[in-house]
Amino acid sequence: MASYIESFRFGEFIGSVLWLVFWILIIFSLVGLPLLFIVLFYVPLPPLGDEPLTPYLFLTMIVDPTRTIPIIKYMIHTDLFRVAAFPGFTYAALFAAVTIFVERKFLAKMQLRYGPLYVGKIEGWLQLAADGLKLISKEIIVPAAADKPIFWAAPIAFVSVAAAAAALIPVAPGWVVADIDVGIIAVFAIFGFFPLIALLFSWASNSKYPFIGGLRALHQIIAFEIPFIISALSVVILAGTLNLTGIVESQIASYWFVFFLPISAFVFYLSSLAELERIPFDLPEAESEIVAGWITETSGMIYGLIQLGTYLKLYALAALFVVLFLGGWSGPIIFPQEIIPGYTGEKIYNPVTLSAIFWFTIKTFGVIMLMLLPRGISPRIRIDILLHTGWYKLIVLSFINMFVALALIYGGILGPEGLLVR
């Protein structure tokens, strides 16, 4: 039933909107309100915080919004909120979205181009939403000779593994999804899945270029995994713990580890570029050599999921760099002690946590910009030079700072009761 209005009249438009509002009000008062009251009075509601949520309390909340503060306070301390919203998926995905936009504008400005310009009028800030809609509405084409179960499972596994890595990052004191004792080893164990997924997906595509890309990804990531782990081990020696929160706290107690271990930080930065398959190490996706590498056969939302996973991984690695070398959330408290002076009710405003989140976000964003920078200025390097760099140079370099860390511990400068420990 395709039809369109030939003569548009503003009055009719307003009339149709009012008609819609009228019907919504009628249906809400006849069906919605009775349903709401049935639910409120007959279904036992869960206790929230200290007091049980009764229908009367609910109705007073609608009148007086400040009464909802204990409920909000209870909600933001549940596990679901942590996993889904703040230190978990939504925070990381927002980071990914902002990173994609900033990357495009930033690289364009570096190369004297405009970048996204039209969607959303102001500097094309809605380009990402438009791209997302396009990807969702596109058809997913699975190659006829592809191995279908692996082809469908690999992108989902990619996103979930990247989200699992992001879940281990502590954002503020106590604000971490999974605070485990062996945090840093868990991060490395999770990052070990990525070459497996890339290899399986490239094999399942059953095509030449993806398979070459997958083999390259495998070689590259395994070559850089060893300097990646060893450069983080010197941090573990200085901090004396494997827990990521503990590492941040030991940096707050002394100084940022990047001052003691600059070579480790450099090796970690290079290895994370290689893990992320970013220029100058984007050989698995080298578009001028092997079409698009291991993601050649992706289309529609499969491509979208792999891109989302890639940027979640970028966030996780940048945040890990901040946690290991830049002191995590350490920084001065910049928010005022209370927003409304003289307010003595239930409080959900905490200046310490807010400034911790602020500093962590700023630092992580800075590291992400540093990781985007080589894409604008550097060409791709050859695969044999890459493997030579990984196996011969970076491993040796990462060992240097391990000895520095041992000297600092045994010289009594850092570590328990060290000279520089405040």
Partner 1 sequence: MVDPIFVGLAVLTVGSAIVALDTKELIYGAIGLAISMLGIAGFFLLLDAPFVAMFQIAVYVGAVAVLIIFAVMLVRTQALFTVREDKGRKAAGIILMLFIMGGLGATLLISGLNTPGSFTAPPVDIMAIGQEMLTYYSPTLIVMGLVLAGAVIAALALARREDVEQKDERAS
Q: Which is nearer to partner 1, 241 or 353 (CB)?
A: 241
Cβ-based nearer residue to partner 1, 57 or 185: 185
CB atoms within 10 A of CB 338: 12
- Between 124 and 195, CB nearer to partner 1: 195
The Cβ-side half-sphere exposure at 185, using a 13 Å CA radius, reads: 6
CB of 262 to partner 1, least distance (A): 27
Q: How far is the CB of 236 from partner 1 (least distance, A)?
A: 11
CB of 202: closest distance to partner 1 in angstroms? Answer: 9
Encoded amino acid at 392, one letter: Y
Degrees to nearest 5, angle at CA 327 with 322 and 330 = 115
Neighbour count for residue 68 (Cβ, 10 Å) = 17
**2 DSSP assignment:** -
CB of 188 to partner 1, least distance (A): 6
d(CA 45, CA 216): 55
Query: Closest Cα to residue 109, out of 373, 308, 359?
Result: 373
Tokens matching residue 390:
């990984």
Contact 310/318 with Cβ under 8 angstroms? no
Q: Which residues bind partner 1 (CB under 8 A)?
A: 147, 150, 180-182, 185-186, 188-190, 192-193, 195-196, 199-200, 203, 218, 222, 242
- Residues 123/127/129/134 CA torsion (nearest 10 deg): 160
What minimum distance in Å lies between the beta carbon of 393 and partner 1? 18
Smaller CB separation from partner 1, 170 or 195: 195
Please identify, using beta-carbon distances, which residue of 246 and 327 lies nearer to partner 1: 246
Nearer Cβ to partner 1 (200/326): 200
What the block records as the tokens of 110 is 């570096």
The secondary element (H helix, E strand) that includes residue 52 is strand 51-52
CB of 151 to partner 1, least distance (A): 12
Cβ at position 289, least distance to partner 1 in Å? 21
In the complex with partner 1, which residue's Cβ is closer, 161 or 172?
A: 161
Residues 6+ away with beta carbon under 8 Å from 53 = 45, 46, 47, 71
Query: Could you give the 3-state DSSP secondary structure of residue 416?
Result: coil
